[in-house]
Homo-oligomer: A and B are copies of this chain.
């Protein structure tokens, strides 16, 4: 297997990427194509001890900057590490592309260079949320602020395949995020999407409230990109608010400080649960090629995990499964609705 790692992606690039490439090649036996400025990469790679023979540097002269407008950048700059890396997937020279760079930039480049899977109206950004029972998929979390019902149907199909093939959940339970559980609740989009999901042949459990979502009632929650983005960011913000307040409260007296010291292992476990490094990277679902995006704060360990989930997706033939599911499910819905 050949996996492209964007060497210019993470906030601390390229050091974590160079180390992760060597580490992943050793762990998984894959070839890693490290794409970025070779003048930066070569000395760093050579300085590492251990076997670097499976890591190959591919030069890319430009970097996607945070200030760039993603769509414009994707069209104009063809020599960024993202562009060069995705072209390697497009040409079949590599099986997948992994980056810890800007998600919007990755989506824009992916749309421009790899295009959409046939039949897919809008690719989606995916997130894995920590829930009571483990983790659950949410999509779309921001690529499409305004959605039509058929987009949400496609998100459900793609999220379900991802949960099954990559996360190993048989018959993934799919819920439609809403402001009430009963059928008939929701905004206009939810009400129009409901019958499509009912007819989809997916394991659709109906409307889903946040409470049930975080209790672990589904494997996949489907929503428009505006709501999904607010769900994601408010969850992160509330988690931060509570932990910040708790820290402040715990530091307020000698007694609580002593308690905090003793309770430290418990806090560390909670932090680990919230840590994006644990799941590594997430797919751009609907793109006609394997593109996985990790968190900007990814370190070496997170990037190795990112490569791990990406190769699982390659092994599971995720793109082929998505292609087939989109075709067959959409046909099914068309026949019923």
Contact = CB atoms under 8 A, between A and B. Distances in A.
A234 B214 contact: yes
Contact of A214 (B226, B227, B240, B267): B240
Contacts of A1: none
Interface string A136-157: 0000001001100000000000
A181 to B, nearest CB: 11
Contacts of A236: 210-211
A53 interface: no
Contacts of A131: 241
B241 A266 contact: no
B234 A231 contact: yes
Interface in A225-254: 225-227, 229-231, 233-246, 249-250, 252-253
B214 A179 contact: no
A27 interface: no
B226 A186 contact: yes
A287 B215 CA distance: 35
> How many copies of the chain does the oligomer comprise?
2
A337 interface: no
A259 B259 CA distance: 4
A240 B242 CA distance: 10
A49 interface: no
A76 interface: no
B255 A237 contact: no
A91 interface: no
B187 A214 contact: no
B259 A245 contact: no
A230 B231 contact: yes
A55 B229 CA distance: 49
A256 B265 contact: yes
A266 B273 contact: no
Interface string A259-287: 11111111101100100000000000000
A235 B233 contact: no
Contacts of A243: 242
Contacts of A266: 246, 249-250, 252, 256, 259-260
A204 interface: no
A334 interface: no
30 contacts: A132-B241, A145-B187, A145-B188, A177-B230, A179-B226, A179-B229, A179-B233, A186-B226, A210-B230, A210-B233, A210-B236, A211-B237, A214-B240, A226-B227, A227-B230, A235-B238, A238-B238, A238-B242, A246-B266, A249-B270, A250-B266, A252-B266, A253-B265, A256-B263, A256-B265, A256-B266, A258-B259, A259-B266, A262-B262, A263-B263
Given A231-B234, A249-B265, A255-B265, 8 more contacts: A131-B241, A146-B187, A146-B188, A187-B226, A234-B235, A238-B239, A256-B262, A259-B260
Interface of A: 130-132, 142, 145-146, 177-179, 186-188, 190, 209-211, 213-215, 224-227, 229-231, 233-246, 249-250, 252-253, 255-256, 258-267, 269-270, 273
Q: Which 8 A-B pairs have the closest CB atoms?
A: A259-B262, A259-B263, A249-B266, A210-B234, A179-B229, A214-B237, A210-B233, A145-B187
